[in-house]
Structure 1
Amino acid sequence: MQIKRDDLTGKEVIQLIGEHLQGMAQNSPPESIHALNIEGLKKPEITFWSAWEKGQLLGCGALKELDQSHGEIKSMRTSSLHLRKGVAKSVLEFIINEAKNRGYKRVSLETGSMDAFAPARKLYSNFGFQYCGPFADYIDDPNSVFMTLKL
């Protein structure tokens, strides 16, 4: 698997972000969706990566710089064609290593509290993420779960 920085212009990546947003809309009320669209992911404080193998897009993830010591994981998604193959684990590991290389002291994330997000919460817990309160501009929301990892 090759994980590379992506400019979010490729058809496959645009489709995967669309799949991600559609999944959020199916499982979360509109006011609790914090997923970013293509334009949101192109902001300068966000770095976006895509994971590929043999010309196929496997998944993606992003890292948003909140400040010099704190990053936020965004847009973690595995293509529906490549679920349960370790894609999310590899992308998450890559992003955590990037956060360490940047000198961040911690990385945090927001995900859903609904059953559809249980696999994501389990993945993050397996990496040592702990539940925490809202961070950055987030507010308490029964549809959101906040997690953080000290690096």
Structure 2
Amino acid sequence: MDIMIDDLQGSGVVELLQAHLTDMYATSPAGSVHALDIEGLKHPSITFWCAKQGDLVLGCVAIKQLTPTHGEIKSMRTAAMARNQGVASALLSHILDVANKRGYQQLSLETGTMDYFASARRLYERHQFDYCDPFADYQLDPNSAFMTRLIEH
């Protein structure tokens, strides 16, 4: 598996992100969906990575720089056919390494509180993310769980 910065142009990535948005709107009330569309992921504050095996897209993840020392995980997604194969852990380890190299002191995320998101929350817990209050522009929302991890240098 190769993890590389992606320009959000390939059909495999576009399909994966469309499936991500479809699932987010199917499982969360519209006002509680914080997933970004493709144009939103092209913002200069965001770096987007894709995990591939050859031409096959296995997953994706992005980091949004909130401040020079604080990043946010966005659009973490594993393709259905690649689930339970370590893709999400590899992507998360990759961006933790990137956050460290960038000098971030903290990496945070928002995910859902519904059962659909339980495996994602367990993944973040296994990687030492702790639950926290809303950060950046987020507001308290019963449909959102906020997590953060300090980055040790």
TM superposition score normalised by structure 1: 0.99
Q: Which residue of 1 aligns with 2:133?
A: 133
Q: Which residue of 1 aligns with 2:21?
A: 21
Q: Secondary structure at the match of 1:84?
A: coil
- Identity between Structure 1 and Structure 2 (%): 53
Matched letter for residue 94 of structure 2: F
Q: Secondary structure at the match of 1:31?
A: helix
Structure 1: unaligned runs, 5 residues or longer = none
Q: Which residue of 2 aligns with 1:92?
A: 92
Question: What CA distance in whole angstroms lies between the structure 1 residues aligned with 2:14 and 2:62?
Answer: 14
Q: Which residue of 2 aligns with 1:65?
A: 65
Q: Secondary structure at the match of 1:7?
A: coil
Q: Which residue of 2 aligns with 1:43?
A: 43
Question: What CA distance in whole angstroms lies between the structure 2 residues aligned with 1:23 and 1:99?
Answer: 27
User: What do the CA deviations read for 1:10-50 (whole angstroms, capped 9, x no partner)?
Assistant: 11100000000011011100000000000000000000000
Q: Which residue of 1 aligns with 2:103?
A: 103
Q: Secondary structure at the match of 1:3?
A: strand
Runs of 4+ aligned residues of structure 1 deviating over 3 Å after TM superposition are: none
User: What do the CA deviations read for 1:63-82 (whole angstroms, capped 9, x no partner)?
Assistant: 00000000000000000111
Once the 2 structures are TM-superposed, how far is the Cα of residue 96 of structure 1 from its aligned partner?
Answer: 0.7
Any residues of structure 2 matched to 1:73-88 within 5 Å, and which? Answer: 73-88=73-88
Once the 2 structures are TM-superposed, how far is the Cα of residue 132 of structure 1 from its aligned partner?
Answer: 0.1
When the two chains are superposed, the root-mean-square deviation of aligned CA atoms in Å is 0.5
Question: What CA distance in whole angstroms lies between the structure 2 residues aligned with 1:18 and 1:65?
Answer: 23
Q: Secondary structure at the match of 2:61?
A: strand
Question: What CA distance in whole angstroms lies between the structure 2 residues aligned with 1:7 and 1:24?
Answer: 22
Q: Secondary structure at the match of 2:140?
A: coil
Structure 2: unaligned runs, 5 residues or longer = none
Q: Secondary structure at the match of 1:138?
A: coil
Once the 2 structures are TM-superposed, how far is the Cα of residue 54 of structure 1 from its aligned partner?
Answer: 2.7
